[in-house]
Structure 1
């Protein structure tokens, strides 16, 4: 995700990772170890997780420029697939 963020961040693209039920220390360690520069939110009570009706992790939600969910993918995604979906969203397809 960091590579994808680096590639698209200047095009109006943003990543916000939401970590569910992990400690602040564990999340900070992960962020530091992987050199993540995009925001990582903590959902320690799983409120966001439940409100979006997410049942499996990882789940990726792609939100369009109007702030509406456009696509959702459950499971790991290839870098190529992520890039294609982002390019579609940024182009307005």
Structure 2
């Protein structure tokens, strides 16, 4: 009798482990702008007319920062993003996605020039990418690993020191 109960408990426990592993794999395959899920794929044209892609596995992790030129916290955060880009640009891609559907291209260009931003600025003209990422506030930043999995979602301003700390974790993986 004890062996039967033990065998049943073992079978149930093993079942939970198998189901748990499968659900983690499903999360990593499903595109959703949440930690543990595949980052939603996109292709946008930048201010420099180059195409920028986020789609699954990549050589380097990527920081995706959604911003608008009229956003006060975005203005305060911009120098820190530039500093991080200068320090980590060879190890990490950084995309400053301007949500142009809530902004205008001239103001975005002026913002980039006044803050001397040298990282890529993809333009979300239609708002489709910000919709897929469920952007409700500016700035919002996503840290995505080499596998294309969202590792961190930061709503609001982030300073260089905090971003560097999070990047160290991302690069260690």
Which residue matches 2:94? 15
Task: Give the 4+ runs in structure 1 shifted more than 6 A.
Answer: none
Partners of 1:5 and 1:88 lie apart in 2 by 16
Report the TM-score when normalising by structure 2: 0.50
Larger-gyration structure (1/2): 2
Which residue matches 2:113? 32
Whose relative contact order is higher, 1 or 2, with alpha carbons under 8 Å and at least 6 apart? 2
5+ residue gaps, structure 1: none
- Residue 44 of structure 1: how far off its partner (Å): 2.3
How many residues align? The count is 91
5+ residue gaps, structure 2: 1-80
Instruction: Work out which of the residue numbers 80, 85, 90 in structure 2 matches 1:5.
Output: 85
Question: Is the Cα–Cα contact under 8 Å of residues 61 and 72 in structure 1 kept in the other structure?
Answer: yes
Instruction: Work out which of the residue numbers 145, 148, 154 in structure 2 matches 1:73.
Output: 154
Partners of 2:159 and 2:86 lie apart in 1 by 16
Report the TM-score when normalising by structure 1: 0.91
Which residue matches 1:49? 130
